[in-house]
């Protein structure tokens, strides 16, 4: 059936009038290239890749603790406060990850437990301790109650079958201490862990005066 002339004109006019509406929608938000909604859901103008990064779960990064960046300690669940000895934490951070080596005491290369403690105490406190963990306890320290432990105190363990003190670490806070593990090198552990709770001998405070 033939379409009358008037009908054709009305149809052409309707098509023409609809074009500005489409144009408005594409320029209203200064969007020059159409993207599906799932690619435009970030109203801030970031693309899909940025959205993925910003929504990814990340462990909070620690703030600076008065000059010492404490991100390493934060990852170990240790929050540094205003009263903490920053020099001690800074020195211990240097030692973290040093592999275990019997009778050695070189940061970054190899150390045993008493060697690390000896070097750290010399550097941080200017105190020279005995090289042997049992001698440290006997000569350089006074035993204290476990509840009285504070930052920088020493914790001793019996790890050999003879029943004598054979391991030492430096107490930090919140039950955490740094020591040179024979299997993992210089690391941070918790006194409440089964192995250390079972082999714990005593807590002690260094009484030897600085050099």
Residues marked as catalytic: 113, 167, 179
CB neighbour class for 40 (10 Å; exposed up to 12, middle 13-18, buried from 19): middle
User: For residue 154, with 0-12 CB atoms within 10 Å meaning exposed, 13-18 middle and 19 or more buried, which class applies?
Assistant: buried
Measure the N-to-C terminal CA separation of the chain; round to a whole number of Å. Answer: 113
92 token code pair: 């211990």
CA distance 91 to 104: 17
CA-CA distance, 178 to 181, in Å (whole number)?
9
């Amino acid at each position: 059936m033939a379409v009358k002339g008037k009908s054709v004109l009305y149809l052409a006019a309707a098509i023409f009038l609809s074009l500005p509406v489409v144009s408005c929608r594409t320029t209203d938000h200064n969007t020059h290239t159409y993207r599906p909604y799932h690619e435009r859901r970030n109203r801030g103008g970031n693309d899909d890749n940025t959205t993925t990064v910003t929504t990814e779960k990340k462990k909070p990064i620690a703030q600076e603790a008065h000059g010492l960046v404490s991100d390493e300690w934060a990852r170990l669940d240790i929050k540094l406060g205003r009263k903490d000895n920053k020099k001690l934490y800074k020195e211990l951070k240097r030692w973290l990850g040093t592999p275990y080596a019997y009778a050695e005491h070189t940061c970054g290369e190899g150390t045993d437990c008493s060697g690390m403690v000896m070097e750290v105490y010399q550097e941080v406190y200017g105190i020279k301790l005995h090289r042997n963990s049992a001698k440290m306890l006997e000569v350089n320290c006074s035993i204290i109650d476990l509840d009285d432990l504070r930052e920088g105190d020493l914790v001793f363990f019996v790890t050999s079958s003879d029943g004598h003190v054979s391991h030492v670490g430096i107490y930090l806070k919140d039950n955490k201490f740094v020591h040179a593990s024979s299997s993992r090198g210089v690391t941070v552990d918790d006194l409440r862990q089964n192995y250390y709770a079972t082999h714990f001998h005593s807590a002690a405070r260094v009484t030897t005066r600085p050099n």
